[in-house]
Amino acid sequence: MRTRFSLSILTLLASLWCTSPTAFAQQTTGHPAPDWLLADWAEKTAGSGIWITDNSEFRSEQEPFDAYGLQWEYGLGDRSLLGRLYCLREGEEVRTAWQFLIYWDPAAAVARVVQIGSDGTVGQGTIYRLDDGRIEERQLFVSPQGGSFESGHRAWTEEGAHHTRSYSIDDGEWTARRYYIWRPQ
């Protein structure tokens, strides 16, 4: 009996493995990535895909970094974006603080972001385009120690520079935090 059960599971798994992707597509209607998202990805990855911002306003004993860098590249098939935020001191890279995955969820018709911090904190959320053309990101972060918080970003491009404003979100209330101007390298 046990052998038959195992063989039937293996047969099922083999049939799923060999089933064409179009068979699954018939069950769920997919939605293509919107033009605004693809344009945002193209902008982020243009040239070297590296953007640097000055951190002198926020530099402290706990945060001894002169600048931060963002490095973006396309994921598999140019259907996602991989990124990292790294710290700079005296022009030299010190460490990576965050890694990012941004992708279009075709079933839910929404852009999603997942980021993982060097301490194991994980942020997950969604990305939208606002009516004024800015990009808005909202995430819930959970640390391995059990703490959690909600954060948001609004981003836009102006005169070749990428602008970001971060927000803390408490009970739905957005409170402005840091503002950075990222320049392409």
- Read off the pLDDT of residues 99-149 as tens digits, 9 standing for 90 and up: 999 999 999 999 999 999 999 999 999 999 999 999 999 999 999 999 999
> DSSP 3-state assignment of 80?
strand
Within 10 A of 139 (CB to CB), how many other CB atoms are there?
A: 20
User: Which pTM does this prediction carry?
Assistant: 0.83
Q: What is the mean predicted confidence (pLDDT) over 8-31?
A: 57
Looking at residue 53, what is its pLDDT?
Answer: 98
Question: Rounded to an integer, what is the distance from CA 1 to the centroid of its chain?
Answer: 48
CB 174 within 8 A of CB 167: yes
**Residues of the chain above pLDDT 90, percent:** 84
Q: How far is CA 116 from CA 31, 119, 175, in A?
A: 27, 8, 23
> Which domains are assigned to the chain?
31-184 (2.40.128.20)
